[in-house]
Amino acid sequence: MQLSTFTKITVIPRENKYRDFPVAVRLKAAEMTVRVKPPVDIVAAIDISGSMRERAGGPSKKRKMDLIEQAMGKVIKNLSGAMNRITVVTFDDKIRLVTALEEMTEKGQGIISVAILKDRKDHNDRLAFIIFFSDGEDDKFQVENIKDNLGCVIRKLHACNEDLDKITEKLDQLTAERTTSMVAVDTIVHLKPLHPGVFLSKIESKIEGSSDSSDSKISEDKQSADIFVGVISSDEQREFTVFLDVPEGHGNGANGTMDLLAVGGSYKQSWDRKTVALGESIVTVKRPGATNSCKELHWIKERMEYWCKVKLNLSAMYEKETAEAEAEAEAGVKCKCHIQQVLREASQEVINKEMHHDIYSVST
């Protein structure tokens, strides 16, 4: 696993300060020549409420539950043998444990899947995933709160009802391809400013060809942060943009450079769960006296201002649509808030991808 950093800006005059200074952080997994398939435990939590018996939207003529049964059949086939295990939990207004990995006590809807995985006696030697099936008709909880209720980092798999006929294909990719190509799990990146006046402001993630995103947490004093990446597959690349607030001042490093940020981390090898440290990378900039040669600095500022405006316009548009949808729901019209949330996340991902390409990949 290779960890690298890059910034297009190499010089900041010491008289200037820089807000939201962008640093690209990249993780790149090597391509596996020999596939090692670690044993996997999967909990499938399936909504069996009345709405799941309705026909799926789009081209499919089947019921939602029929499509899920078909998809689960593919999952079971893919996981057969190789010491893999699966347990099924169904729920409507009650929770039913259909099959179990181990005997356990039910702990309530939402956290029961995590309880099953945590109660495993051999959890340190096996990978674990939760597959959550629901059509979102139950409006007693918000989609964005699922992660907090489960108390763990969840691999996101979005599917609108209009595209439900493709759920078998998506789960086939997850259980057949993803589980055989994983090279790293529990991957985490650590960030630490090296100058007392440098602070972390925000972190954005971008993953090519995927709707996944990684969680990150910045400390209250903005002097440290962690990016929780999770699973990385063979030959996969993850990219993040870390934004720093850089003060005026002289360099604190060699040759008048200012050491801004230390980037490191660790991961566990998927086949033996051995912890491996990522090589540390140091981000620096030169801090000369007043100069007129910092064209790249002004160019980046202009591009950042442009993309911030695009994001604000997008946010305003979706806030308006959400308000209209809520008003329709109060009037008795079926709410499609969950679909709007998926579209909003997809739009934000596209914008982040284009912004990253604009700033780091296109020459000025």
**Are 15 and 48 part of one and the same domain?**
no
d(CA 236, CA 40): 20
**Are 246 and 310 part of one and the same domain?**
no
Domain end position, chosen among 158, 181, 204: 181
More confident residue, 249 or 32: 249
Torsions phi, psi of 61, nearest 5? -105, 0
| Average model confidence (pLDDT) across the chain | 75
Q: Write out the two tokens for 134.
A: 């629901």
Torsions phi, psi of 5, nearest 5? -130, 155
**Are 256 and 320 part of one and the same domain?**
no
**Are 270 and 195 part of one and the same domain?**
yes
**Are 82 and 215 part of one and the same domain?**
no
**Are 177 and 58 part of one and the same domain?**
yes
**Are 333 and 273 part of one and the same domain?**
no
Total number of domains constituting the chain: 3
Whether residue 310 is predicted with pLDDT greater than 70 in this model: the reply is yes
Residue 204 belongs to domain with CATH number = 2.60.40.3670
**Are 280 and 221 part of one and the same domain?**
yes
Across the range 356-360, mean pLDDT stands at 67
**Are 55 and 13 part of one and the same domain?**
no
Domain end position, chosen among 155, 181, 207: 181
**Are 111 and 219 part of one and the same domain?**
no
268-272, Cβ contacts within 8 angstroms, sequence gap of 24 or more = 268/184, 268/185, 268/186, 268/187, 269/183, 269/184, 270/36, 270/38, 270/127, 270/182, 270/183, 270/184, 270/185, 270/231, 271/36, 271/38
d(CA 75, CA 134): 17
Whether residue 311 is predicted with pLDDT greater than 50 in this model: the reply is yes
Lowest-pLDDT range of 130-139, 222-231, 282-291: 130-139
Top-ranked range on mean pLDDT: pick from 160-164, 183-187, 189-193 = 189-193
* Segment 125-144, tens digit of pLDDT: 667 777 877 776 555 555 55
Lowest-pLDDT range of 12-16, 135-139, 235-239, 315-319: 135-139
More confident residue, 191 or 324: 191
pLDDT of 277 reads 96
pLDDT of 120 reads 53
Top-ranked range on mean pLDDT: pick from 143-147, 218-222, 296-300 = 218-222
| Residues whose CB falls within 8 Å of the CB of residue 98, separated by 6 or more in sequence, listed in order | 87, 88, 89, 90
Across the range 226-231, mean pLDDT stands at 90
| Residues whose CB falls within 8 Å of the CB of residue 273, separated by 6 or more in sequence, listed in order | 124, 125, 185
Supply the range of the domain harboring residue 354.
Answer: 296-361
pLDDT of 234 reads 85
Q: Write out the two tokens for 116.
A: 């099953």
**Are 58 and 16 part of one and the same domain?**
no
Cβ–Cβ under 8 Å, residues 323 and 295: no
Sheet of 215-218: strand order equals 215-218, 225-233, 182-193, 257-269, 275-286
